[in-house]
Structure 1
Amino acid sequence: MPARRTSMRKIKEVLRLRYELDLDQRQIARSCSISVSTVHEYLKRAETAGVSWPIPTEWNDTQLQAALFPATATPIRPCKDTLDFEEIQRQLRSNRHVTLQLLWEEYRAANPNGYRYSRYCELFQRWRKTQSVVMRQQHTPGEKAFIDWAGATIPIHDRHSGAVRQASLFVAVLGASSYTYAEVTRDQQMESWIRAHEHAFAFWGGVPSLTVPDNTKTGVSKACRYDPDINPTYQNFAVHYGFGVVPARPYRPRDKAKVESGVQIAQRWIVAVLRHRRFYSEAEANEAVGELLARINERPFRKRDGSRASRFAELDKPALKPLPGEPFDLSDWAQARVNIDYHIAFDG
């Protein structure tokens, strides 16, 4: 059965991330949840067809597909030669500039009918998992912001009825400095999600290259390890602010260890500290959160010099991209079914 081709929307996102944000192929593969070899193939097809970014406005998806896929390529049956995984590992460790893609290209030069890049990587990663090795993540300044909702909530009281509702806590952490932003929101719906991002970017004074959200419905429409779909509104927001989205893999907390730690700190030093205080609005709660947030970011590290604030000023702040000149126009996306009378219903 032939593999299902990636949608034109995702292919357009590959082109945008490459030519507008200048991301490398591995980052694009993570953001779009496709293999590096697929990213390489689409970029190669775009180069051959003379397609760049932005795509001509008069082009529709059919024209783009015809330009990128003029004919069906004949699949090449790979040979089943045994790979020397220990030698591959040794080569990777021998020089920090040696990459798995370079080793694969050398392998294919010697074995023209050998494994494709995705299968080559899959076999090597499967072997490496048996070695029980855990790699420490290195974060480039200004590259990633890790986003999540805290599990704990803050009660908001009604002055007149005395009713209590639970407000959510949005947490965002920059990768290089661990500089943290937190905000109390009314709920976890799309508008609160987008506005909290806007406030976080304004708090930092710039925009990171990538965000790594958890698989919440406001960020990811379809949570999947291999093919998650970014919520259309969130994707439009990312295009407006000029960043890419790389969702964390389901059930892989190490992918977002920064924000997991940030959420834990926020729950201990914000939610727990405010447990005896009574708030009557989110604005009142956020005023108190802002005071505690400053203390968290100014608190010295225990095992290294400086604080989150000093590391932010030194590392992340100079590397962040500028904020856009115009605010984002929030829109809602929904699927509608055409009724028998050729009409559709929507909320106006």
Structure 2
Amino acid sequence: MQTLRLIIQLLDRNTSERNISRQLHISRNTVKFYRERLQQRVYSYKQLQGLDDELLSEIVYADLPSTQDEDERKQDFRQRVPYFLSELERTGMTRQLLWEEYINQHPDGYRYSQFCHHLHELGKVLQPSFHARYNAGELMMIDFAGTSMYYVDRPTGEQINCPVLICVLSFSNYTYVEALPNGRLPALIAALNNCLRYFKGAPLSLKTDNMRQVVQKSNRYEPTFTELIQQWALHNNIALVATRPGKPKDKAPVEGHVKISYQRIYAPLRDQVFFSIQELNEGIRRQLEVHNNKNFQGKSYSRLWQFSQQEQHLLQTLPDQPFMIKHSTSAKVQKNYHVTLGEDWHHYSVPFHHIGKQVTIIYDQQTVEIYLNHHRITVHKRFFNEHGYTTLKEHMPENHHAYQQQKGWDSDYFLRQALQVGPATRSYIEGVLKGRQFTEQTFNSCRGILRLGSIYGKERLEAACHRATHAGSYSYKTLSNILANNLDKAPDIAQTTLFQTPDHDNIRGAAAYE
């Protein structure tokens, strides 16, 4: 409209079309088009300059064919867009399938690329996004990532999957991420306690989707929360809020940060192997610091800066002690002087002289306390690996301490001991260690082989290992038989015949099968 008004102003001054074109940097045809349109009206140039934009636009563009006129094909497509969008929300439906259905009904319709383009453009109009504003210190949103992370259990080599919790302060987008031992409510509450300590304060409210750990009964207006999460919220003076069922955009900030976590935490850690959940969370924390210190895209400040400068001082002060869930159960001390915590199926030791007694186990996310007649007899750090054993040396009888020493054995230990005998013994022990899927299963064999050196002497053990290595047989029994039968003293020629079937008349030749 500004250009149009300049054209009217110059025409009122009797400026030629050529000069108007040169001054305004537009084509002469454009100037000619507007001059002819304006001359058809009853208004003078002075009167046109006094009109507002809306009225001037109606005068100039009246009776012109609209540039927005659509052909019948696009009009038909526009009417179908709501149906297309609703169908795409159904499980398994894709744009390719929609297009195939569309083109079967309308062979003259859009090809696939144009179909996707128009669906995208028209869908933006029918599904606009709302930019929500949040107040500092007011709201924290939480969600579980769709993909878990894992660590490797050293003794078994088992891959332990861990759900990942993501918490976001909606005003500053300051983020906290933690891998949990499991997805149950006690683990969630422990992670939320860690989150509040990381933020150094508590927001006024917490919003989550209708996850079963938090919401006992979903409802659009009055959801029912589980009793334990309500106790945690009261302890920290936090109000609980749940999203509408099936409306993930109600917590859009944390939904977006799930995707960002895949890019900035999962991806950088993808090739690292962790051997405990503590190591895993240390790796997550390092990448989390990088994420929070990284500037927002297109902005000169980071999440950490916005949090520390504008939000942290508005968070509520945390209670002196974090909320802690205490559970109680009873158990009988088994003959192996351990009790079983049924929730995790993990076994914890007690002093062996309490075998057969009934004890009480008080436990939370961090510790396991064991009481006998209201007197605490031991305390352990809690572990979550099923069927695992946590044993303290002082709980064992004297004759079991040797077994406990075995826990410190590893491949390097046996290789060092074998090298003291000789290089053949070391090579043989290395073959034994590689003979089983789990190296720990070979430790007793290695122990027995080394003991043969104290029975027969290191020189004979070295010679026996030399012979057995040539035969490719790696076991304690092989060496024991060689030494018991003095085969280690046989001439060198026996090396090639020791493990071969001797020639005799009862062997069939090729002629027997003609």
Which bracket does the TM-score occupy, shorter chain normalised?
0.5 to 0.7
User: Is residue 295 from structure 1 mapped to residue 327 from structure 2 by the alignment?
Assistant: no
Alignment-derived partner of residue 184 in structure 2:
189
**Quick check: 1:256 aligned with 2:251?**
yes
Partner of 2:338: none
Task: Kindly provide the amino acid, as one letter, of the partner of residue 303 in structure 1.
Answer: G
Q: Which has the higher helix share?
A: 2
Q: Does 1:320 align with 2:320?
A: no
Equivalent of 1:136, from 128, 131, 134? Answer: 131
1:237-248 equivalent positions in 2, closer than 5 A: 237-248=232-243
Q: CA deviation at 1:284?
A: 0.3
Q: Which residue identity does 1:315 align to in structure 2?
A: Q
In structure 1, the partner of 2:169 is: 174
The answer to whether 1:156 aligns with 2:151 is yes
Question: Match for 2:158: what amino acid?
Answer: A
Q: Is the 8 A contact 2:264 2:287 kept in 1?
A: yes
Tell me what 1:215 maps to: 210
State the shift of 1:269 in Å.
Answer: 1.3
Larger Rg: 2
Q: Which runs of 5+ in 2 are unaligned?
A: 1-125, 328-342, 344-360, 362-514
Asked whether the 8 Å contact 1:176–1:315 carries over to 2, the reply is no
In the aligned structure 2, how far is the partner of 1:308 from the partner of 1:178? 6
Measure the CA separation in 1 of the matches of 2:217 and 2:271: 38
| CA shift in 2, pair 1:158/1:329, >3 Å | closer
Rounded to whole Å, the distance in 1 between the matches of 2:225 and 2:272 is: 37
> Which residue does 2:263 correspond to in 1?
268
The two structures have a TM-score, normalised by structure 2, of 0.38
| Structure 2 letter corresponding to 1:228 | P
Consecutive aligned runs of 4 or more in structure 1 exceeding 4 Å deviation: 131-134
One-letter code aligned to 2:295: P
Q: Give 2:195's match in structure 1, choosing from 183, 196, 200.
A: 200
Farther off after superposition, 323-332 or 308-317? 323-332
SS in 1 for 2:163: strand
C-alpha distance in 2 between matches for 1:326 and 1:154: 30
Distance in structure 2 (CA, Å) of the matches to 1:296 and 1:326: 29
Matched residues, percent identical?
30
Matched, 1:165 2:156: no
The gaps in structure 1 that reach 5 residues or longer are 1-130, 333-346
Q: What is the SS of the residue equivalent to 1:266?
A: helix
Q: How does 1:79-98 map to 2 (within 5 A)?
A: none
Q: Is the 8 A contact 2:201 2:316 kept in 1?
A: yes
TM-score, with structure 1 as normaliser:
0.56
Contact 1:248 1:256 in 2 (8 A): yes
SS state at 1:172 partner: strand
SS in 2 for 1:246: strand
Match of 1:146 in 2: 141
1:225 aligns with 2:194: no
Q: CA deviation at 1:168?
A: 1.0
Question: Relative to 1, partners in 2 of residues 1:228 and 1:302: Cα closer, same or farther, differing over 3 Å?
Answer: same
Taking a change above 3 Å as real, the CA distance of residues 297 and 162 of structure 1, as seen in their structure-2 partners, is: same
C-alpha deviations, 1:75-101, integer Å up to 9, x for none? xxxxxxxxxxxxxxxxxxxxxxxxxxx
**C-alpha distance in structure 1 between counterparts of 2:171 and 2:268, whole Å:** 27
What's the CA shift for 1:192? 1.0
Q: 1:138 offset after TM fit, Å? A: 0.5
Alignment RMSD: 2.1
CA deviation after TM superposition for structure 1 residue 301, in Å:
1.0
In 1, Cα distance between equivalents of 2:324 and 2:154? 33
